C-alpha cells in the first residue's frame, strides 16, 4: 500500500517472467480519469509465475501506470528492481518505483536513486516508510533522510547532479523529465500521529519539494476524500490527488489492512461479508460497495483511481468494469506505446468541480 508496503519475507528473484502482451495502453483523454494499480513483487521464486500472470491481466486493462512496492525499509529492493526492469523492457505500461528512506543513510538512498536512474526508471513514488514494528529500540539513521519531502528533494538533487555532469544525460532528462509521486493520508497518518489538517500541510511541503502528484492512502467513505481535497486546495495544494482504493471483497484482508494502516474497516460491510458463505456472493457484495465508492469520488472530480490490488487481479478488474473503465479500445488519435506521465495524463481527465480545484 502507499502508506506502508506490506513487510515481505526474504527477498526473492522475479525471474521467469513471461513475455507480456504488447497491447497499447490507453491514452489520456478529457473523457476519462486515469487508472493505475499497485503491484507487490513476488516473495519467492515459486510465486513468480502467478505474479506475472496477474501483471499480464492487469496490463490488459490498459492502465496509465503501475506502481511497484519496495517493501519495509527497502527489504525487497532487488526483487522490485527486477520487476520494474521486466516491465520497462516488455510491457507497454509505465512502472513507478516505490522508494523508501526510513533507516537508511542519505548516501545510501542517493546511491539507490542513482542506480534506478541509470536503469532508465523515470518515475518514483517517494515514501518515508515505517520503522520496523518488531524493534522497539529502533532509531533513525543519524545521517538519514527523515521525511518524504526530503526524499523528493533528494531525488531532484541526484537527477540535477547527473545532468550537470553529463550533457547526454541532461538531454535525455529534458526529453523525459523525472516524475515524482507522493503518498497522502486523508484520515491522518496513524503511524506518524498526524491529523488530516497536518497531512494537508505535509502534502503542501511535498509539493514545494517538487512532487508532481499524490496518491491517497485507502479510505472507505467518499466524504473522507472530498473533505481532504477541499481542505488541501484551500491550503494551496495544486497537484493532482489520485484516489487510492482497496476492493472491499475479503473481510480478512480488510482486517489485515486495518492493522497495518490504522484505517478502520467498514464494520457493517465486514459483518455482511462474513455472513455470506458463498464466495461468489461475498465477492459481488464487496464489488458493489467498491464501485459505489469509486463512482462517488469520480463524480466529485477525482482525477484518477489507484487500486491496491494485493496482486489479486479479479477484484481490481471487476471494480474497473463496474465504473466502466476496464480496457476500452485505444483512442484512434493515439500514436505510441505509452503515456507520458511527465505532463500528467490526469490533466486532461474529466473536469474537476470547483470544490476540488
The CA distances from residue 174 to 122, 177, 178, 257, in Å, are 11, 6, 9, 40
- Among 13-17, 211-215, 229-233, the least confident range: 13-17
Q: What is the CATH number of the domain that holds 281?
A: 3.20.20.220
Residue 353 included in any domain: no
Select from 154, 73, 146 the least CA-distant residue to 117: 154
| Overall size of the chain counted in residues | 357
pLDDT band, very low/low/confident/very high, at 13 (cuts 50, 70, 90): very low
Cα–Cα distance measured from residue 334 to residue 239, given in angstroms and rounded to the nearest whole number: 25
Residue 332 included in any domain: no
Residue 7 included in any domain: no
Contacts with 201 (C-beta within 8 Å, 6 or more apart), sequence order: 235
Residue showing cell 467513505: 221
pLDDT band, very low/low/confident/very high, at 150 (cuts 50, 70, 90): very high
As given in the structure block, the three cell numbers for residue 58 are: 492487469
> Whole-number mean pLDDT of the chain?
82
The CA distances from residue 236 to 124, 232, 243, in Å, are 23, 6, 19
At residue 138, the pLDDT reads: 65
pLDDT band, very low/low/confident/very high, at 338 (cuts 50, 70, 90): very low
pLDDT band, very low/low/confident/very high, at 356 (cuts 50, 70, 90): very low
Contact between residue 183 and residue 2 where contact means Cβ atoms under 8 Å apart? yes
Residue 276 included in any domain: yes
Residue 348 is classified by DSSP as G
At residue 235, the pLDDT reads: 97
Average pLDDT over residues 179-195: 90
pLDDT band, very low/low/confident/very high, at 75 (cuts 50, 70, 90): low
* Total domains, the chain: 1
Residue 310 included in any domain: yes
pLDDT band, very low/low/confident/very high, at 128 (cuts 50, 70, 90): confident
Condensed to tens digits (0 to 9), the pLDDT of residues 243-293 reads: 999 999 999 999 999 988 889 999 999 999 999 999 999 999 999 999 999
Select from 247, 242, 264 the least CA-distant residue to 255: 264
Cα–Cα distance measured from residue 72 to residue 78, given in angstroms and rounded to the nearest whole number: 13
**Cα 47 to chain center, whole Å?**
22
pLDDT band, very low/low/confident/very high, at 347 (cuts 50, 70, 90): very low
Residue 344 included in any domain: no
310: left (phi over 0), alpha (psi -120 to 50) or beta: left
- Express as a percent the part of the chain with pLDDT over 70: 78
The percent helix, strand, coil of the chain (3-state, each to 5) is 45, 10, 45
Residue showing cell 519475507: 9
Q: 13 in helix, strand or coil?
A: coil
Residue 137 included in any domain: yes
pLDDT band, very low/low/confident/very high, at 96 (cuts 50, 70, 90): very high
**Cα 11 to chain center, whole Å?**
21
- pTM of the complete model: 0.83
As given in the structure block, the three cell numbers for residue 225 are: 476524500
Residue 25 included in any domain: no
At residue 9, the pLDDT reads: 38
At residue 17, the pLDDT reads: 47
Cα–Cα distance measured from residue 196 to residue 201, given in angstroms and rounded to the nearest whole number: 9
Greater confidence (42 vs 140) lies with 42
Average pLDDT over residues 26-50: 80
Greater confidence (352 vs 308) lies with 308
- Among 31-35, 163-167, 253-257, 288-292, the least confident range: 31-35
- Per the structure, the complete domain to which residue 207 belongs is given by 34-326
Average pLDDT over residues 66-80: 76
As given in the structure block, the three cell numbers for residue 325 are: 473503465
pLDDT band, very low/low/confident/very high, at 32 (cuts 50, 70, 90): confident
Select from 82, 96, 98, 97 the least CA-distant residue to 14: 82
pLDDT band, very low/low/confident/very high, at 344 (cuts 50, 70, 90): very low
As given in the structure block, the three cell numbers for residue 85 are: 526492469
Q: In this model, does residue 174 exceed pLDDT 70? A: yes
Q: 154 in helix, strand or coil?
A: helix
Average pLDDT over residues 213-236: 97
Greater confidence (76 vs 57) lies with 57
Amino acid at each position: 500500500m502507499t502508506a506502508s508496503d506490506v513487510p515481505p519475507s526474504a527477498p526473492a528473484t522475479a525471474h521467469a517472467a513471461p513475455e507480456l502482451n504488447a497491447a497499447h495502453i490507453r491514452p489520456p483523454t478529457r473523457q476519462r480519469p486515469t487508472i493505475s494499480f499497485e503491484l507487490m513483487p513476488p516473495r519467492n521464486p515459486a510465486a513468480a509465475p502467478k505474479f506475472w500472470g496477474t501483471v499480464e491481466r492487469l496490463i490488459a486493462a490498459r492502465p496509465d501506470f503501475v506502481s511497484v512496492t519496495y517493501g519495509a525499509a527497502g527489504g525487497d529492493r532487488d526483487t522490485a528492481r527486477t520487476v520494474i526492469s521486466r516491465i520497462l523492457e516488455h510491457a507497454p505500461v509505465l512502472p513507478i518505483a516505490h522508494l523508501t528512506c526510513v533507516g537508511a543513510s542519505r548516501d545510501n538512498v542517493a546511491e539507490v536513486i542513482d542506480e534506478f536512474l541509470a536503469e532508465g526508471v523515470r518515475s518514483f513514488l517517494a515514501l518515508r516508510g515505517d520503522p520496523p514494528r518488531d524493534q522497539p529500540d529502533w532509531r533513525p539513521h543519524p545521517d538519514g533522510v527523515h521525511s518524504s519531502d526530503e526524499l523528493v528533494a533528494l531525488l531532484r538533487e541526484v537527477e540535477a547532479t547527473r545532468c550537470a555532469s553529463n550533457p547526454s544525460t541532461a538531454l535525455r532528462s529534458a526529453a523525459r523529465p523525472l516524475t515524482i509521486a507522493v503518498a497522502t493520508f486523508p484520515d491522518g497518518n496513524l503511524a506518524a500521529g498526524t491529523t488530516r489538517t497536518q497531512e494537508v500541510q505535509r502534502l503542501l511541503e511535498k509539493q514545494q519539494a517538487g512532487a508532481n502528484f499524490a496518491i491517497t492512502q485507502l479510505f472507505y467513505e467518499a466524504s473522507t476524500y472530498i473533505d481532504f481535497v477541499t481542505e488541501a486546495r484551500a491550503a494551496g495544494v495544486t497537484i493532482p490527488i489520485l484516489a487510492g482504493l482497496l476492493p472491499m471483497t475479503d473481510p480478512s484482508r480488510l482486517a489485515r489492512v486495518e492493522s497495518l494502516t490504522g484505517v478502520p474497516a467498514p464494520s457493517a460491510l465486514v459483518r455482511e461479508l462474513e455472513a455470506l458463505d458463498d464466495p461468489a456472493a461475498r465477492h459481488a457484495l464487496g464489488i458493489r460497495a467498491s464501485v459505489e465508492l469509486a463512482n462517488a469520488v469520480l463524480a466529485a472530480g477525482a482525477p484518477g483511481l489507484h487500486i491496491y490490488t494485493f496482486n489479486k487481479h479479479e477484484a481490481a478488474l471487476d471494480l474497473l468494469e463496474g465504473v466502466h473503465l476496464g480496457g476500452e479500445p485505444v483512442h484512434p488519435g493515439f500514436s505510441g506505446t505509452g503515456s507520458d506521465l511527465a505532463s500528467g495524463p490526469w490533466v486532461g481527465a474529466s473536469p474537476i468541480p470547483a470544490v476540488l480545484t
